[in-house]
Amino acid sequence: MMADKQTVGRLLKTARGQIDGILKMIDEDRYCMDISHQVMATEAILRRANKEIIRAHMKGCISDALNSGNGDEKIDELMDILDKFSH
C-alpha cells in the first residue's frame, strides 16, 4: 500500500473508536438521531481514509502503470471503484 500508513491508520482507529461509542450508545438506548449522527460521522471518516488510499494508488500504482505502458488495467480498476462510490 502506497498511502501514508500513519494517516490511514489514524483515521481507521478513530472510526473504530466511534463504532465502539455507537455500540455503547445502542446499549444505553440513546436517542435514535444521536446514534444516526454518529454513524454518519463514522462513514465520513471511512470515506476520508478510502480517499487517501485511492489518491496514493493514483499517484503511485496508476502513474507507474501508465509510464510502463500498462495503464488500461489500472484505469479500469479505478473506474470500477469510483463507480461504487456513486451507489
9-44 residue pLDDT tens: 999 999 999 999 999 999 999 999 999 999 999 999
CATH class of 5-85: mainly alpha
**Residue-wise pLDDT tens digits, 66-84:** 888 888 888 888 889 888 8
How far CA 23 is from CA of 7, 61, 75, in Å, comes to 25, 37, 38
Listed in order, strand segments (DSSP E) in the chain are none
Contact (CB, 8 A) for 8 and 51:
no
pTM of the predicted model as reported, rounded to 2 decimal places: 0.82
Give the separation between CA 37 and CA 65, rounded to whole angstroms.
40
Give the separation between CA 50 and CA 53, rounded to whole angstroms.
5
Q: What pLDDT sits at residue 82? A: 85
**What are the residue ranges spanned by the domains of the chain?**
5-85
> Given a cut of 80, is residue 58 above it in pLDDT?
yes
Grid coordinates of 58: 493514483
Please report where in the chains the cell 478510502 appears, as a residue.
Answer: 50
